[in-house]
Amino acid sequence: MTQPKASQKTSPQIPPKVTGLAHLFAAARYSLGGFQRLIAEAAARQELAIGGAAIILLWVLGAPGMQIGAFSILFLLLLAIEALNTAIEVLTDLVSPEWSQQAKHAKDLGSLAVALLIGANTACFAIILLSLLN
**Catalytic residue numbers?**
82
What SS3 class is residue 113? helix
Report how far residue 83's alpha carbon sits from residue 49's, in angstroms, rounded to the nearest whole number: 16
Which residues neighbour 125 within 8 Å (Cβ) at sequence distance 6 or greater? 54, 58, 71
Question: 5 — alpha (psi -120 to 50), left (phi > 0) or beta?
Answer: beta
Which residues neighbour 107 within 8 Å (Cβ) at sequence distance 6 or greater? 88, 89, 92
Q: Are 38 and 82 in contact (CB under 8 A)?
A: yes
